[in-house]
């Protein structure tokens, strides 16, 4: 169980991977604005400070609870595919005044930890570590074993995503978005149900989904009393 001696927030910093290699950066930025706007609307009950672009290739936002953390990250990934992100998650206090509509300028251990997590991901990529993650979490005040367990899980989730074929990715993204039957998925994607089943099984979809749900359950214990 996660126990804190303060009111924690969940700060998220997203950073586009290889942003300088993107040809139409303005189009990507506009797409990102739309994706973050959708997240702000759909998860407004859990958002303390809206998600917004802070730099050309970076965004940030603040959650008052972590119970939909992975839903938020998955939504952004899906809306922005094939653009890839690093996600730094910081759980901690915020020492500046929080404004719902303006995340820029917010500061405190929560954001420091999120920035620390992004830096760690970049360093791992630069070292060409085997099986780098695209998501990392850091806590201001929690047992290190919890952070270690979550970060290993993020590494495994990244490995699963990187193993998907183009068709598996298409099917799994549809499954994550709609969460309905394989028959309905087959209708939307114009294929037969056994094909859907094969892609879900070979893409380790059910293990992937269980891991997302487990992280959400753990992070649901992060609650700010003002949220």
Domains for the chain: give ranges and CATH numbers: 9-164+203-219 (3.30.70.270)
Helix (H) or strand (E) run with residue 101 in it: none
Residue 130 pLDDT > 70, yes or no? no
Residue 59 pLDDT > 80, yes or no? yes
How far is the C-alpha of 147 from the C-alpha of 69, rounded, in Å? 15
Residue 1 pLDDT > 70, yes or no? no
The answer to whether 69 and 63 are in contact (CB under 8 A) is yes
29-40 residue pLDDT tens: 999 999 999 999
What is the pLDDT averaged over residues 86-96? 94
- Chain centroid to Cα 118, Å, comes to 12
Residue 113 pLDDT > 80, yes or no? yes
The answer to whether 142 and 2 are in contact (CB under 8 A) is yes
What is the pLDDT averaged over residues 103-112? 83
177-191 residue pLDDT tens: 999 999 999 999 999
How far is the C-alpha of 213 from the C-alpha of 183, rounded, in Å? 23
- Laid out side by side, the sheet with 85-92 consists of 47-55, 58-63, 9-16, 85-92, 135-139
pTM of the model: 0.92
Helix (H) or strand (E) run with residue 83 in it: none
What is the pLDDT averaged over residues 90-100? 89
Peptide bond into 73 cis (omega under 30): no
What is the pLDDT averaged over residues 123-147? 86
What is the pLDDT averaged over residues 112-128? 91
Under the banding of pLDDT at 50, 70 and 90, the label for residue 173 is: very high
How far is the C-alpha of 137 from the C-alpha of 115, rounded, in Å? 10
Strand partners, 49: 62
Q: Nearest CA to 1 among 211, 223, 207, 208?
A: 223
Helix (H) or strand (E) run with residue 213 in it: helix 205-219
- pLDDT at res. 35: 97
Locate the DSSP E strands across 80-185: 85-92, 135-139
Strand partners, 92: 9
- pLDDT at res. 7: 79
Residue 222 pLDDT > 60, yes or no? yes
Tell me how many degrees the CA angle 34-40-44 measures, rounded to the nearest 5.
160
- pLDDT at res. 107: 82
How far is the C-alpha of 205 from the C-alpha of 93, rounded, in Å? 34
SS3 call for 13: strand
Please provide the average confidence, as pLDDT, over all residues in the chain. Answer: 91
Diameter of the chain by CA atoms?
54
**Side-chain half-sphere CA neighbours of 153 within 13 A:** 19
């Amino acid at each position: 169980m996660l126990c804190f001696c303060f009111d924690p927030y969940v700060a998220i910093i997203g950073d586009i991977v290889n942003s300088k290699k993107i040809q139409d950066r303005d189009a990507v930025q506009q797409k990102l604005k739309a994706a973050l706007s959708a997240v702000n609307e759909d998860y407004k009950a859990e958002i303390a400070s809206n998600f917004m672009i802070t730099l050309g290739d970076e965004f940030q936002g603040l959650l008052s609870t972590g119970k939909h953390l992975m839903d938020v990250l998955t939504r952004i990934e899906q809306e922005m595919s094939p653009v890839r992100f690093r996600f730094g998650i910081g759980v901690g206090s915020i020492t500046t005044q929080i404004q719902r509509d303006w995340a820029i300028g917010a500061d405190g251990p929560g954001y420091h930890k999120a920035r620390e997590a992004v830096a760690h991901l970049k360093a791992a990529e630069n070292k060409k570590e085997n099986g780098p993650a695209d998501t990392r979490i850091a806590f201001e005040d929690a047992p290190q074993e919890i952070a270690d367990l979550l970060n290993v899980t993020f590494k495994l989730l990244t490995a699963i995503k990187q193993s998907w074929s183009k068709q598996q990715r298409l099917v799994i993204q549809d499954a994550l978005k709609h969460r309905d039957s394989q028959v309905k998925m087959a209708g939307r994607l114009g294929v037969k149900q056994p094909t859907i089943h094969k892609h879900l099984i070979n893409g380790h979809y059910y293990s992937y989904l269980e891991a997302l749900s487990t992280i959400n359950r753990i992070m649901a214990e992060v609650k700010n009393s003002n949220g």
